[in-house]
Each structure stands twice: as structure tokens, then as C-alpha cells.
Amino acid sequence: MPTYESFVEGGKEGLSIAISIVPYLIGMMVAISVFRASGAMAFVSDLLKAPLDMIGVPTEIVPLALIRPISGTGALAMTTDIIRTYGPDSFLGRLASTMQGSTDTTLYILTVYFGAVGIKRMGNALKVGLLADLVGIIAAIVFVTIVFG
């Protein structure tokens, strides 16, 4: 059993993933840092704060929840930004980590899987995927609040 060779072979795949996401991550992280630094993010957060507070959702998590089904690297950049700003062991850091890990990028999967085999009429796929994302996001908030809140 060639354990070492297998390890190296799999490791190469990890290397190519890490390198291939560099441009995506730079693009998204610059956009998000600029949005935060300009003060626009704080402005939007303030607008949403009152209604979200009532249902117990932290405002800072909203941009991540919105981008998660649309762009995988965008969400990764957003998660990184939240962890960097609020700390990995803060409530927001843990919530962002859980949300990032527990759902996948619906639009990407839809495009790749159906695109590859030429499905033109998607049926309920988009609706099911997005509703499942919503379930995942709510579940993440609930579980993180119970375990770490």
C-alpha cells in the first residue's frame, strides 16, 4: 500500500485548490474591506438592526447569509472578514464558522450539475436548494445560540 505516494498525490490537489482560489479571494475580500471601510456597511447594518434584533438575529451576519447560496469564495471571504474583525472565538465568529461549513453554494452546484448534463428545465431544484439554505442558516443561529450563547 503506497501510503506516502497517496498522501503526496492528494496533497497536490489541496495545493492546487489553495492556489486557484487566490484571485477569487482577493477580489471578494477587497470589495468587502472597501465596503466596510467606507462606512456603508455600518449604515446598512444600522438600518436593519431594529427589525433583526426583535427576532434575535445579529445584523453582522446578514451579508454572509445573503452571499452564501450565491458565491462560495465570496462567502469564504465574508467569513474570514467576520472572524478577523470579531475574533474566531466570539459569538459572531462561531456563528459565521458554522454557517460557512453547514451549507454549500446552491447556485454553483445547480449550474455545474445541470449544465454538465444539459438540463434546461430545472423544476423545483432552485426553490428546494434556496429553502434548504434558509433552513441551514436558521439552524446555525439556533445551535450556536444554544451551545455557545
Partner 1 sequence: MVNLIWVGLFVISILYAMFNGTMEEVNKAIFSGAEEAVAVCIGLLSVLVFWLGLMRIAQNAGLLTSISKVFKPIAVKLFPEVPPDHPAMGYILSNMIANMFGLGNAATPMGIKAMEELKRLNNMRDNASRSMVTLLALNTSSLTLIPTSVIAIRMKYGSVSPAEIIGTTIAATICSTIGAIIIDRTFNRR
9-38 residues near partner 1, rule: CB under 8 A: 9-15, 17-19, 21-22, 25-38
Task: Tell me which residues in 106-125 interact with partner 1 (CB under 8 A).
Answer: 106-107, 109-110, 112-114, 116-125
Taking residues 48 to 67 in sequence order and writing x for each that binds partner 1 by CB under 8 A, - otherwise, the string is -------------------x
Q: To the nearest whole angstrom, how small is the minimum distance from the Cβ of residue 53 to partner 1?
A: 22
DSSP assignments along 38-87, one per residue? TTHHHHHHHHHHHHHHHTT--GGGHHHHHHTTT-HHHHHHHHHHHHHHH-
Work out whether 78 is an interface residue with partner 1 (CB under 8 A): no
Of 40, 46, 47, 53, the residue at the interface with partner 1 (CB under 8 A) is: 40
Q: Residue 103 has what DSSP assignment?
A: -
* b/e 60-84 (16+ beta carbons within 10 angstroms → b): bbebbbebbbebbbbbbbbbbbbbe
Write down how long the chain is: 149
As measured in angstroms, the least distance from the Cβ of 85 to partner 1 is 10
